[in-house]
């Protein structure tokens, strides 16, 4: 299982955005909530957490474009890594930060979270970036949870294992960077080969990109173009599965 590494700590080019949502507490977790739709999209974040402006910008875009309510829970309970810290500082903190936030603990938290919100929305879809992708797969491979979640998407995923491929029970979108040591070619090929007969999975490649490009793109026009395409591809996936 390939967890966060050096490629996960680069926050990318600085972005600006005026947030359109509010913070509230849901299912025991502080949550950024935007939009007022009858269906919900839940975003599971990377290590920079639910207050990262890049993530909130995407959440607002999803809400506007899909007509849904978008929820971004604080998986790390106020202890996400600081995107304004230097790369060297982040690399130094990561080895001690990860043991405090094991993915198994996050899975238990979102189990409770989804159970709390399921009665309030007509349907629930989920998307995860880097660390958060594992939570998407967790939800759609467990029978008691997959019945609640209509579809899931992952972008530059981390922590996945090959054995999960045959357990996926819901439509899933994989948004794949061209270079991604967290989701290497052999693992991607295994997931694609295993899921192909089921018709449940869609794989989209984004040329010239690296791990983290959707949430944390660099400032080159080519990278921004691929980030924007990935956001629009996710929107179309959500609309298809509403």
Separation of alpha carbons 105 and 124, rounded Å: 21
E strand or H helix at 222: helix 221-241
- Is the confidence at residue 6, as pLDDT, over 70? no
Q: Which CATH class is domain 22-240?
A: alpha beta
Q: Which residue, 183, 190, 191, is CA-closest to 209?
A: 183
Separation of alpha carbons 102 and 19, rounded Å: 29
pLDDT score at 144: 78
pLDDT in tens, 48-99: 999 999 999 999 999 999 999 999 999 999 999 999 999 999 999 999 999 9
pLDDT score at 9: 78
Locate the domains of the chain by residue range. Answer: 22-240
Q: Strand ranges (DSSP E) for 14-123? A: 22-26, 29-34, 40-44, 69-73
Q: Which residue has the tokens 């926050």?
A: 11
CA distances from 186 to 4, 130, 192 (A): 18, 18, 10
- Is the confidence at residue 228, as pLDDT, over 80? yes
Pull the structure tokens for residue 151.
């579809």
Higher pLDDT, 3 or 188: 188
| Chain Cα centroid distance, residue 142 | 18
pLDDT in tens, 104-131: 999 999 999 999 999 999 999 999 999 9
pLDDT score at 147: 86
pLDDT score at 1: 57
- Is the confidence at residue 5, as pLDDT, over 70? no
- Is the confidence at residue 7, as pLDDT, over 80? no
Q: Are 227 and 213 in contact (CB under 8 A)?
A: yes
E strand or H helix at 202: strand 201-210
pLDDT score at 145: 75
Surface-to-core class of residue 17, CB atoms within 10 Å of its CB (0-12 exposed, 13-18 middle, 19+ buried): middle
DSSP 38: S
DSSP 57: H
Report the mean per-residue pLDDT for the chain: 94
pTM of the complete model: 0.96
What is the bridge-based pairing of β-strands 22-26 and 201-210?
A: unpaired
Q: Are 171 and 188 in contact (CB under 8 A)?
A: no
CA distances from 113 to 71, 72, 106, 176 (A): 11, 11, 10, 27
């Amino acid at each position: 299982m390939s967890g966060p590494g050096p490629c996960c700590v680069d926050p990318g080019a600085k972005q600006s955005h005026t947030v359109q949502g509010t913070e509230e507490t849901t299912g025991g977790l502080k949550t950024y909530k935007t939009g007022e739709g009858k269906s919900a999209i839940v975003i599971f974040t990377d290590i920079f957490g639910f207050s990262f402006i890049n993530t909130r910008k995407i959440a607002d875009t999803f809400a506007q474009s899909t007509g849904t309510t978008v929820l971004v829970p604080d998986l790390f309970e106020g202890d996400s890594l600081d995107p304004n810290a230097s790369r060297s500082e982040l690399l130094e903190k990561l080895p001690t930060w990860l043991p405090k936030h094991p993915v198994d603990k996050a899975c238990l938290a979102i189990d409770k979270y989804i159970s709390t919100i399921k009665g309030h929305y007509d349907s629930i879809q989920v998307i995860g970036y880097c660390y958060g992708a594992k939570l998407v797969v967790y939800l759609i491979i467990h029978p008691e949870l997959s019945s609640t979640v209509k579809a899931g998407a992952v972008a530059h995923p981390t922590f996945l294992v090959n054995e999960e491929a045959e357990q996926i029970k819901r439509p899933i979108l994989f948004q794949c960077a061209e270079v991604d040591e967290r989701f290497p070619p052999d693992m991607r090929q295994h997931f694609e080969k295993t899921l192909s007969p089921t018709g449940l999975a869609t794989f989209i490649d984004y040329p010239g990109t690296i791990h983290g490009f959707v949430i944390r793109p660099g400032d080159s026009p080519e990278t921004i173009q691929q980030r924007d395409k990935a956001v629009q591809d996710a929107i179309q996936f959500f609309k298809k599965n509403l």
